[in-house]
Structure 1
Amino acid sequence: MHELPSKARVVIIGGGVSGCSVAYHLTKLGWTDVVLLERKQLTSGTTWHAAGLVGQLRASENMTRLAKYSADLYTQLEAETGLATGMRQNGSITVALTDERKEEIYRQATMARAFDVEVDELSPSAVKDMYPYLNISDVKGAVHLPGDGQCDPASLAMALAKGARNGGAKIFENVKVTAVHSRHGRVSGVSWAEGDALGTIETDLVVNCGGMWGRDLAAQSGVTLPLHACEHFYIVTEAIEGLPALPVLRVPDECAYYKEDAGKMLLGAFEPKAKPWGMDGIPEDFCFDELPEDFAHFEPILEMAVGRMPMLETAGIHTFFNGPESFTPDDRYYLGEAPELRGYWVAAGFNSIGIASSGGAGWALAQWMNDGQPPFDLWEVDIRRAQPFQKNRRYLRERVTETLGLLYADHFPYRQMTTARGVRRSPLHEHLKARGAVFGEVAGWERANWFARPGQEREYRYSWGRQNWFENQRDEHLAVRHGVGLLDLTSFGKIRIEGGDALAFLQRVCANQIDVAPGRIVYTQMLNSRGGIASDLTVTRLSDTAFLAVVPAATLQRDLAWMRKHLDPEEFVVITDMTASEAVLALMGPKSRDLIQQVSPNDFSNDSFPFGTAREMEIGMGLARAHRVSYVGELGWEIYVSADQAAHVFEALEEAGEPFGLKLCGLHALDSCRIEKGFRHFGHDITDEDHVLEAGLGFAVKTRKGEFIGRDAVLRKREAGLTRRMMQFRLKDPEPLLFHNEAVVRDGQIVSTITSGNYGHSLGGAIGLGYVPCAGESEADLLSSTYEIEIAGARVPAEASLKPMYDPKAERMHL
């Protein structure tokens, strides 16, 4: 029986590789009062049976930074702790069997170079030289990452645990956390049980590293942690005579990966339709358990593998393994402080990349807890992206059947989830569906991305080239530019901030001047202490004491949490999520004024209704509020109407719009219009590590208004000068496409990546935004350089600009 402490600075729940990594890294920062509680034995959940692949390249620069950190840590951990981790940097090879997959992995190779990851493109014959057992008859190409590797997961976790103990952490096995307690909205302690012994540890910080147990544990505290276990299969052969050490091999077109280990071959699968497990919760006695075999489920993968690796035909199977791993709705893990409860931190949901991710994730979370802010942008994995409805177990069960397989599916741009759809719908959903809408999903919202023509199939045909909706987007884009378009933007997050101290509060958390007349709309950012962009929003002053903040759909929970976190207890302010109460119809284009005046008796002239104002309006037989703003760079209004009147207003606009050629438009057209105008997109172009001045948004910062969060960092940057600048690029060749993370090449050298891209139908080429280093340089220096964008290894000449290439003086929005 252990003697547990009665108090601790932090209690980590879960002794897998994630929990051990968090403990290790907190002690590295000097935290000695660290307690880790494991319900059974260390590694007994998922870690012990993980395949142990350590890949460096991820879908973004920061996720790659964390994976590279993991690889570097694991190579030095043995020397530090004296415990072997089995880490071998034997490299990895990914092969492509189709032209589309070849395009994908070659794009990834370009991205790797931009992220400073060593990479080589390989011909099929070069693959054969490195992997002689492989059938290359239909291999189109391959990519080799020499710095990748493999390790023994259980040994790795034990080494991290020993390193944590060496740093003063206390680790207890066979101690189950039965409850997390809270007081006044923050963690106050945990209760535990060890056999018949019960006790409580006072603490104001917990870290949920509970893996597949994490969701139910979080739910006890009202915390949303959407993950679900799936069955994950692999086989290990008998020893194969003469089998040498080999790189890890991935054949994503056959849903398979191969790992040589001690003269045996491990074959694992990420099958397209996975099997969820643990629908009724994880059994209490689960510990180093295996799940029942299901050879019929694995057999299609094995059949392809025998054709790919003929030696498997004669190799005996030593082990057929089936074990559970937890997956999330979007295939990205969760990190950070839960918005529902202060002091409740999370590192869970690792989607079969827990070994590669946990070193970096543990470091990042420890830094975040220590400093009060993440070391760099971690929005991709931020727990605040989770939507409350996603804790629904039926939703999770359906979604994870897809997300496991998506790890090895083609990662086409604009790829949409197909499972667990239709949860959140605009009041106009059926109207749009009847008119040809093809929907995508963001934060559970069904959103019309494009509109099919009569007779055209209403689904995506994915490709790295022009997809089947390219001409639809073009027509919708040009309607907004030259006529009038109507978009459903109901998914916008809408936050009402009201009370006697609402103005003072917003002045403190927003960088722009919020003390404006009622009816004015202010575009602003909420900054962190480093001058990074925590939120990108508009604030409309409704009255002396009431304001409406409008934020992207994906960031609503994050923005609510940020506001509530920075609200002082003595301030009289009520913050309310109003998202579902109002629909938003965006009427955009040079003919929008003529049209809106057909359905409303209100005055929409420039003098009466200038840009940046909001007015109550009559429309049809209803009432709404019109906001004169634009994310497309044209004259237009966003019409906020209560959900019960939304269908009526839509019908009135549609009927009145017929003589004007009104066109229904989707989110793809919105994005192509905004990128031509150089408007930033939060999460891609602007994040909490992008300084607001370097993002080119200094016009929305008013340092003279007085103190606000981030003001000092803005003043320091103005004094020191910018070290990089956001620029806009247009490919001179009209054929190639830009999506995200293509390499920006300046005077022959890769200097950064494209943060977001789309096709500029008015500018006649693909458009991208991206930062360019510029320390000590003038605008003239930046513009005198020669720029190219590298796409899948090919460099395409590009025009670069610091101003928007479309309507640089913003005259069209003020028509």
Structure 2
Amino acid sequence: MTDLPSQARVVIIGGGVIGCSVAYHLTKLGWTDVVLLERKQLTSGTTWHAAGLIAQLRATANMTRLAKYSQELYGGLEAETGVATGFKRVGSITVALTEDRREELFRSAAMARAFGVDIDEIGPDEISMRYPHLNMEGVLAGVYLDKDGQGDPGNIARALARGARQRGAVIVENTPVTGVTRSGRRVTGVTCETSGGPVQIACEHVVNCAGMWGAQVGRMLNTNVPLQACEHFYIVSEPIEGLSQLPVLRVPDECAYYKEDAGKLMLGAFEPVSKPWGPIPANFEFDQLPEDFDHFEPILEHAVNRMPILGRAGIHTFFNGPESFTPDNAYHLGLAPEMENVWVAAGFNSIGIQSAGGAGMALAQWMEDGAKPFDLGDVDIARMQPFQGNARYLRARATESLGLLYADHFPYRQKASARGVRRTPFHDRLAERGAVFGELAGWERANWFAGPGQERANAYSWSRQNFFDNVASELAAVRGNVGLYDMSSFGKLRVEGGDAEAFLDHVCGADMAVPVGKIVYTQFLNARGGVEADVTVTRLSETAFLVVTPAATRLADETWLRRHLGDKAVVITDVTAAEGVLAVMGPNARKLMQAVSPNDFSNAANPFGTAQQIELGLGLARAHRVSYVGELGWEIYVGTDMALHAFDTLIEAGEGLGLTLCGMHMMDCARIEKGFRHFGHDITPEDHVLEAGLGFAVGRDKPDFIGRSAVLRKKENGLDARLLQFKLRDAEPLLYHNEPILRDGEIVGHLSSGAYGHHLGAAIGLGYVPCRGESAAEVLASTYEIDVAGVRVSADASLKPFHDPAGERMRM
């Protein structure tokens, strides 16, 4: 065996393609004391039986960036290492058998152009020409990517391993990690079992690349890594005479993909209802699972019809092997929230080969710099909630999530499994009144309200969905009268102690030296001036503040605060579940508040951006005068013990005013009409706070806050991009996000978010436009179009909100 060092800068646990990529990229950055420990042999878990499909296009710009990097890396890996990777750019075709799928593919093609990926929409004739063996019955259209490819998964991993070894990494097989030593929130050493007995390696960092064993290793490292292994099926035909090189073919409407390899045809499946698997046997190595032909047969029946040559060929191999899946079909990457030096790269949801190069590069750069190289919010392990490590939850959710890989990816689509984990105090009251719930971070949230006799379910499509008119009515109530919606799921972090003001002043861009009762809209910035969190901070007392965060990023935002706390006398407490929150919004919001409380809600006593303790009905609450919908309103914070009483009091008083219950879809439509940014879409760690148009929320005169230098530098040097609001001139098309922005006929960016502006009468989007050396007037003087599924739609552009540009309605 290789002699193991007693100390290393980093220990990587797991020798699949992901672990090998992390080792490769760390050594490429100059890390020489890298140790990779593999429990059995390299690639023996999932990598060895992967299909080896290497595609470029993913659902977001940054995930596409990583996938493109992978195929570019693999193209040169053989020349660098001498290991044949089998990488070939054979191209790929995805076909549509339904109108909904065609819409999805054509929207994806438009998105790909915005991301810089070469892609062509193709019709049946070209599909048949490029894939002559395909039965064209029912095929409507497709997309073709000429640079997509395929490769040998095992050899790609071995090439990465050799590249890492050539630069000094120690990679050892048959050496399982059996334990760790910890000091506080850091792992100080890793214990592994060798043929000569246990060995301990002191280390500065640990990376969990354990694949199917990622959750188990995560627990050993005191971290939550929600993963579930599932069975994955494919067959390989006998050799087919005359079968030559073909593009990879995907027929998602039949849950199938096809790959030609050495004169044989592989058929793989992502069946609608998957089979979770486990526990994993201790001696698992290059193993396959028992055949289940009954489970695979429906896929095969469609396949032999779609690909007649497959029906005429014999089956050489029927393979069933396990792969690991996450609750949301996005892999886990980054620094684990629970620890300060434990990193994760695991759970790749059947796209490990195409993702490994980019994921390894991104994680290595993050470890090198101590900061994300670009926005990785889609895959950041900090997005996972603690409850999502629950074994029963994972098994139920994975049964569905694998099947959704090839399902129609409709906007607003909700998971159906493992629901009802987290409910606000108002859940049952809302359900009684027609709420149709969605789920975010486990929270059940009313997305819209069904009318009398209307089915309480989503009817998904790419056009106007069944809740379109309901949301229009809800928004009309908020714009013209008064609406009420539940905001209890938003994160609430209490920050208190003698150093609370100084601490928040350092972490937040805005000035925190404000009077008690003042609400401050602010961002947590990184050293580059990018937005790490978008929050409000309310001063509750001289020593206590309440930080309100988006529901999905509560854990990430709390983690950011804790990692910058140092030795300050501050206590941070998650109090999300301690208070229910009801938003009362609209021109008649003041009338409703005055009907339920004796307190003074006038501008003089309770101006915009202030909070006050109030009596509400027979109880007590705290009223925050803020708005995410651009109207007069209050967010009512009330202890969960009095939450239902507060709800009933408001509903009873609202009957005479025409109070309307509203959902999250309404809130999204309202905020985009007002041009309010949505964290994770419009503002991310990659987006500079000034280019996002949020300079008003930054106290540049403060002597010290994270990102100050980057803000001052950008102020001096000028903006490279501006976030614009767009309104389509045609009232019919719908916008979601990622649609290309064309300026004077050329693609210059993509929409970061989109929704229908019912009050404005057209779809609205936000997106960044390059502007180096240009004034605002010059940027707006151009002609703009938005590409909607290949159709260019004229749009008006504005730096000011289309709805109430002066912000008068919130302050009336």
Confirm or deny a common fold (TM above 0.5). Answer: yes
Q: Partner of 2:24 in structure 1?
A: 24
Choose from 650, 665, 668 the match for 1:668: 665
Alignment match, 1:263: 263
Show the counterpart of 2:187.
187
* Deviation, structure 1 residue 195: 4.1
Match of 1:770 in 2: 767
For 1:507, what is the secondary structure of its paired residue?
helix
Alignment of 1:476-495 (within 5 A): 476-495=474-493
Q: 1:374, CA displacement in angstroms?
A: 1.1
- State the 1:812 CA deviation: 0.1
- Structure 2: distance between partners of 1:449 and 1:780: 38
* Aligned with residue 552 of structure 1, among 526, 545, 550: 550
Task: Give the deviation of 1:196 after TM superposition.
Answer: 5.8
Contact 2:221 2:342 in 1 (8 A): no
Q: For residues 552 and 204 of structure 2, what CA distance do their matches in structure 1 show?
A: 29
Residue deviations 1:469-500 (CA, integer Å, cap 9, x gap): 00000000110000000000100000000001
Alpha-carbon offset, residue 180 of structure 1: 2.5
Equivalent residue for 1:594?
Answer: 591
- The alpha carbon displacement at 1:720 in A equals 0.5
**Separation in 2 of the partners of 1:73 and 1:781?**
40
**1:116 is aligned to 2:138:** no
AA matched with 2:275? K
With the length of structure 2 as denominator, give the TM-score of the two structures. Answer: 1.00
The answer to whether the aligner puts 1:335 opposite 2:316 as a matched pair is: no
Structure-to-structure mapping, 1:792-807, within 5 angstroms: 792-807=789-804
Query: For residues 76 and 239 of structure 2, what CA distance do their matches in structure 1 show?
Result: 29
Structure 1 residue 3 displacement after superposition: 2.1
Q: Cα offset for 1:571?
A: 1.0
How far apart, CA to CA, are the structure 2 residues paired with 1:740 and 1:181? 45
How far residue 548 of structure 1 moved from its aligned partner, in angstroms, is: 0.3
Matched, 1:305 2:303: yes
SS at match of 1:567: coil
2:614 corresponding residue in structure 1:
617
Cα shift at 1:706: 1.4
Partner Cα separation in structure 1 for residue 97 and residue 234 of structure 2: 22
1:683 Cα offset (Å): 0.1
Answer yes or no: is 1:503 the counterpart of 2:511: no
- Say if 2:620 is the partner of 1:648: no
Q: Which residue of structure 1 lines up, in the alignment, with residue 294 of structure 2?
A: 296
- Structure 1 counterpart of 2:563: 565
Aligned to 2:696: 699
Report the CA distance between 1:282 and its aligned residue: 1.5
Q: Given the alignment, which residue of 360, 384, 387 partners 2:385?
A: 387
- Tell me whether 678-687 or 281-290 shows the greater mean CA deviation: 281-290
Residue of structure 2 equivalent to 1:378: 376
CA RMSD of aligned residues (A): 0.6
In structure 2, the CA distance between the partners of 1:576 and 1:375, relative to structure 1 (3 Å rule), is same
Shift of 1:81: 0.3
Q: Do the aligned partners of 2:608 and 2:626 also contact (CA within 8 Å) in 1? A: yes
Q: After superposition, give the CA deviation of every residue in 1:210-262 in whole Å (9 maximum; x if it has no partner).
A: 00101011112321101100000000000000001000000000000000000
8 Å Cα contact 2:749/2:769 also seen in 1: yes
1:682 partnered with 2:679: yes
Give the drift of 1:4.
1.1
| 2-structure distance, mates of 1:140, 1:19 | 41
Residue in 1 that maps onto 2:144: 144
**Residue-pair matches, total:** 812
Q: Residue 719 of structure 2 aligns with which residue?
A: 722
Report what 2:445 is aligned to. 447
8 Å Cα contact 2:187/2:221 also seen in 1: no
Aligned equivalents of 1:100, 1:755: Cα separation in 2 = 23
1:639-682 residue CA offsets vs partner (Å, 9 max, x unmatched): 00011111110000000000100000000000000000000000
- Residue in 1 aligned with 2:62? 62
Q: Distance in 1 between matches of 2:434 and 2:16?
A: 48
**Partner of residue 315, structure 2:** 317
1:61-100 pair list within 5 angstroms: 61-100=61-100
Alignment of 1:598-609 (within 5 A): 598-609=595-606
Q: What is aligned with 2:280?
A: 282
Counterpart in 1 of 2:247? Answer: 247
Partner Cα separation in structure 1 for residue 30 and residue 478 of structure 2: 57
Cα distance, 1:181 vs structure 2 = 2.1
One-letter amino acid of the structure 1 residue matched with residue 557 of structure 2 = D
**Take 1:196 and 1:539, find their aligned partners in 2: how far apart are those partners?**
57
What is the percentage of aligned positions where both structures have the same residue?
67
Residue 184 of structure 1 deviates from its aligned partner by 2.3
- Out of 341, 344, 352, which is 2:342 matched to? 344
Residues 124-203 of structure 1 aligned to structure 2 (within 5 Å): 124-195=124-195, 197-203=197-203
Alpha-carbon offset, residue 309 of structure 1: 0.4
**Alpha-carbon distance between aligned partners in 2 of 1:180 and 1:331, rounded to the nearest angstrom:** 29
Match of 1:228 in 2: 228
CA distance in structure 1 between the aligned counterparts of 2:492 and 2:799, rounded to whole angstroms: 31
Query: Alignment partner of 1:644: what SS?
Result: coil
- Aligned to 1:563, what secondary structure does the other structure show? helix
Return the alpha-carbon distance in structure 2 between the equivalents of residues 516 and 180 of structure 1. 46
Distance 2:425 2:243 in 1: 61
One-letter code aligned to 2:397: R
Shift of 1:375: 1.0
Contiguous gaps of at least 5 residues in structure 2: none
What does residue 101 of structure 2 align with? Answer: 101
Q: Does 1:752 align with 2:749?
A: yes
CA shift, 1:179, in A, is 1.4
1:20 and 1:221 map into 2 onto residues whose CA distance is: 20
Secondary structure, aligned partner of 2:8:
coil
- The CA deviation at 1:813 is 0.2
Corresponding residue SS for 2:246: coil
Q: Residues 64 and 115 of structure 2 are in contact (CA less than 8 Å); yes or no, is this contact kept in structure 1?
A: yes
Query: What is residue 734 of structure 1 aligned with on the other side?
Result: 731
> How far does residue 783 in structure 1 lie from its aligned partner after superposition?
1.0
Instruction: Name the structure 2 match of 1:524.
Output: 522
Which of the residues 357, 361, 365 maps onto 1:359?
A: 357
Q: Which residue of 2 aligns with 1:458?
A: 456
Corresponding position: 1:211 with 2:207? no
Q: CA deviation at 1:32?
A: 0.2
